[in-house]
Structure formats: C-alpha cells, structure tokens
Structure 1
Amino acid sequence: MADKIKKGTLVRAIREKLENSLEATASDTRFPSYLFDSDGEIVDIRGDYAFVKFSVPTPNIWFRLDQLELKS
C-alpha cells in the first residue's frame, strides 16, 4: 500500500494498528474518534511516516504508513 500513498491521498487511521503501537504506549491512548471516522489528507511523507491533516481544527499528526488505510 505504501506505493499507493502520496501527497494529497485521503486516508483513515486503522484503530487496531494505532492502539497496539509503540507510539500509543508513549502517549495518551484515548484517541479522538475523528482519527477513525473522518478522512485525513496526506500532507508530507518521510520514510515510513506520513503527516496527516484532518478537517477538524486540530494539529496535523504523523502516522506510520502501516497505520493508515486508503479512503474507500
């Protein structure tokens, strides 16, 4: 899937992969529902990570590419 993700692609976070990740253990695990229920847009990609912007007024977030799914 990583080859299909590029800037401007619409994605959603995958709950199971995010909740059980190393990143989740390092921060608050009460993830807001918009991460899983709304679409985010890829703003930047660096290595195995994508910077995602959501339409809600919150800061952009870095996700590992395997924690994202393409909007269907």
Structure 2
Amino acid sequence: MAGKVKKGSLVRVVREKLENSLEAMASDNRFPSYLFESKGEVLETEGDYAFVKFYVATPGMWLRLDQLEAR
C-alpha cells in the first residue's frame, strides 16, 4: 500500500487504520465522512506521512502512508 502512494496519487483513507491510530486517540476521533467516502490527492510526502488535499472546502491534512490506499 504505502509503496504505491506518492505525490500526485489519488487516495482514500482506510477507516480501520485511522480510527485505531495513535493520532485518533490523541485528538477528536469524530472524523468527517468525506475522509472515507471521497478521494484525496497527495500533494507532498515526507518520511512516513503524506499531505492530502480532499476536494471539499476544507484544509488538507497530514496522514500516515499506511492509513492511505491508492485509488
């Protein structure tokens, strides 16, 4: 999975991996539905993380590569 995700990739968030993550436990874990129901585009990667912009009127966000699935 993570090997396929690179800059410019269209991705979706894997619900099970995000909901059970350290990041979810450290913050509000009520994630908006667009994370799981729509595609996002990887704008940048750094280490184990990707900056993803979703095609909705919200700011992009950093997510771990293992929480993403290429579309």
- Which bin holds the TM-score, normalised by the shorter protein? over 0.9
Aligned to 1:36: 36
Q: Which runs of 5+ in 1 are unaligned?
A: none
- Displaced runs of 4+ in structure 1, greater than 4 A? none
Normalising by the residue count of structure 2, what TM-score does the alignment of the two structures yield?
0.96
TM-score, structure 1 normalization: 0.94
Query: How far apart are residue 5 of structure 1 and its match?
Result: 1.4
Counterpart-to-counterpart distance in 2, 1:28 and 1:6: 27
Question: Identity across aligned pairs (percent)?
Answer: 70
1:4 corresponding residue in structure 2: 4
RMSD of aligned alpha carbons: 0.7
How many residue pairs are counted as aligned between the two chains? 71
Q: Which runs of 5+ in 2 are unaligned?
A: none
Q: Which structure has greater helix proportion?
A: 2
- Greater RCO (Cα-Cα under 8 Å, separation 6 or more): 2
